[in-house]
Structures are given as C-alpha cells and as structure tokens.
Amino acid sequence: MTLQQIKQRYGIIGNTPELDRALEIANVVAPTDLSVMITGESGSGKEVMGKVIHENSARKHGPYIAVNCGAIPEGTIDSELFGHEKGSFTGAHEARKGYFEVADKGTIFLDEVGELPLGTQVRLLRVLETGEFIRVGSSKSQRTSVRVVSATNVNMWQAVQQGTFREDLYYRLNAIPIMLPPLRERGSDIALLFKKFAIDSAERHRLKEPINLTPEAQQLLMGYRWPGNVRQLRNIVEQINVIETEDREIDGQKLRLYLPTVDASLLPAVRTAQGGSTENGQGPNEREMLYAVIAKLQQDVNVLKEHFAMIQDDPKDLHKIAAAYREGSLLPLPSSERGYTIERAPVDRDPEDVDHTEVEETLSLEEKEKELIRKALIKHRNKRKSAAQELGISERTLYRKIKEYDIP
C-alpha cells in the first residue's frame, strides 16, 4: 500500500516530512511481528498509527484491542491484562479472560504504557519473551500469540533512568520506534486539517456551508502552540462551526476568542543580546528583579515600624494588627492616623549596602505582643477575662497566646 493510499484510507491529512516518515516506517514494519513503540504528545494521533500497523499486518483478521494503561487502577490492571480465576480476590465471582488471552493471534495496543506499575511490567516482559502468562489466582501457565504496539507521551528513557520503568522491558517494546511530530511543527498541515474538520462538522450538524479562515486567521492558527494537538484543533473547529452561524468568514480577531491563552511559563526562554534571558522575550533581567525584591522587603520593614509605633501608643490595636499580619494584608497607615512621621530607608541602594541590623531590630512583633500580654495580666492580677478585654481579644485566644509564649 502506497503512502497516499494509507492517508486516504485512514483520513490522515498532512504532507510534512516527519509525518510521512512515520507512516513509511509503520507501513514497512506492519508485515513483521516486531514490537513497535509510538512516541508523541497527547492528541497527536498515536492510536491511528496503531490501527495502520495492525490492519496492514498478517494479523489483520485477528482481534485488535486498545488498552489505556493509565485509566486502569493499579490494583486491577493485572486482572484486566492477564485475567483471573474465580475467587482469586474479593468480587471475583467467576473466571475472566484478560486482554492478552482475548487478543490471541491479534494485536494489543497499549496506550500510555509508561503508566504501568513495576509489578505489571514484569508480567508483560514475560509475555513478550516467552508468550506465556499466568492468570491472577492461578498456577497454570497459558500461551498466547499477541503482537504488542505501545504508545507513550512521556520520555521513556528518562523514566528508565528514574527507575519507574524497567530497562529490559523498554528495549523489548522499543524494537521499532516511531516518532509522531506535534501539530505546532506541522506548518501548513494545520490549515488543511482545519478545513477538513470544518467540512466534516458542517455535514454532521447539517449546516449550509463550513467556516472559512482569512489569511490573517490562517497565520494565527499556524503560530499557535496547540498543546492538545489534533484533538484540540478538532474541538475548536467544532466550537466555531456551531457558534458562528451568522458570519462564516473567520478573521484573526474572532479566532482569538476561541484560542486558549498559553501559559507563559511553558514558552521557551529567549536569550537577549546582553546575554540575559527572559520569558517570551520580555520581562526584567535577574539584577532588576533582585533590586525589586529588596525594595519590596524594605517597604515591608517600614510598614512594620509604623505598626509597632501604633501598638506602643495604644495596646488595644494589637489584635487588629496581629490579624492583618496573619492574613498578609498589612498596609502602611495614612499620615493623618499616625500623628508622626517615620524616616524611610532609601530603596535604590545596592543590595550589599542594606542594613541587616535594622531589619532584625524591627522584626520583633512577637516580643511586643508578649510584653503587652504580660502587662495586661499583671494589671488585672492574672484575671484572664479582664486581661483579654483589655487587649481586645477573646479569652480563648489569650489562653493560646500564654501557652505559645510560655508566660508564667
């Protein structure tokens, strides 16, 4: 079967070299019984590639079973894959065949194979090496003839290095590797896929005509990152096709309403001409960010100074300030409420010149609070209810503070 025939049969749209290379490898390896590992991002079409391999192999008349390994709980995955005997565990009221037994003389597609537990990986390795498996709760070995096509969206070699995936199983599954390119690297294929999905959607929803893109919208489409790949593109086409019933000509401004904002933290860092790096080519360099942090710290210190002075003037305000401190909502007091001025330290100095002694002296809110509680207790002869009323806090809070500060 030629490359063009494969694309027509399975509805594969695109002409990028990476996609063509992946289809060529699948077509060549299909008649063999070698294990194939398909690697690609989520939504890039890995399961379609698995069907291409199965339906062009000598096993095409046998069963084809697709299993999402990440969707099966760890406690039941052995039973799902290899079957179980009656009474082998709670709820096993009858014997059941597993996927490997049902798929005999056929193909099993293991999606998200990197999610398999280590214990299940040992069982899978035995099937690949000897063709034998044992049902859960049984001691009898059974044979099966199954071709395994696996797929993953993670870096499997990195998983091997981290110890979450067996190295011997990795080499067994990765006899023939196939890499599927992400949608964002397929250039003009994106516009072709958009047009195909728009036509299919219009027919499915019985619309008069499919939506069309202006040249500006096409450029925007090809410049988007598409983290969800082909699956995300299909969903967006469905949304636009159903919602935009009045104007079927979609321009860039209208298309932006349907494209989710990509998190800037996922974008690559851009190296500046001065040697610094920024996210997405924007933002301050490290030195400027450091100065900003120091300035913010100095501002917080000045705020604490103001509130300490206010506590000394009127101890009843202690509970209000303490609550604001816990909530992270301490704000500078207006000058009209302070009745005094506090000299602020300059914030544009070099980081090495910051006076750390001054910071240590001002960061003593707990000591001030402890002193005020002690004075209130002495004043009211250790009557906690009266002391709590004096401080403007509840008796329960006062008791907790006494325990916390170990006040005799």
Q: Are residues 35 and 149 in the same domain?
A: yes
CATH for 40: 3.40.50.300
- Summarised one tens digit per residue, pLDDT across range 77-131 is 999 999 999 988 888 889 999 999 999 999 999 999 999 999 999 999 999 999 9
Regarding predicted confidence, which is higher, 192 or 300?
192
Query: How confident is residue 230, by pLDDT bands cut at 50, 70 and 90?
Result: very high
C-alpha torsion 150→154→157→163, nearest 10: -100
107 membership: H or E segment, kind and range = strand 106-111
One domain for residues 23 and 157: yes
Same domain, 283 and 200: no
Structure confidence at residue 112 (pLDDT)? 94
Identity of residue 150: S
State pLDDT tens for residues 137-179: 999 999 999 999 999 999 999 999 999 999 999 999 999 999 9
The whole-number average pLDDT for the span 220-238 is 92
Whether the model pTM is above 0.85: no
Written as one letter, the residue type at 345 is A
pLDDT tens for each residue of 336-349: 444 444 444 444 44
Task: Reply yes or no on whether the pLDDT at 354 is more than 50.
Answer: no
Residues 250 and 282 in one domain: no
Percent of the chain scoring above 70 in pLDDT: 78
Domain that holds residue 399: 364-408
Could you tell me which residues come within 8 angstroms of residue 298 by beta carbon, excluding any fewer than 6 positions away? 344, 345, 347, 354
Q: Are residues 250 and 272 in the same domain?
A: no
Angle, helices 3-10 vs 17-29, to 10°: value is 90
Domain shared by 160 and 15, yes or no: yes
Read off the pLDDT of each residue in 326-332 and give the average, rounded to a whole number: 50
User: Can you read off the two tokens belonging to residue 231?
Assistant: 């699956």
What are residue 309's phi and psi, to 5 degrees? -65, -40
Same domain, 271 and 337: yes
7 with 153, same domain? yes
Same domain, 45 and 150: yes
Find the CATH number of the domain harbouring 406.
1.10.10
| Cβ atoms < 10 Å from Cβ of 125 | 16
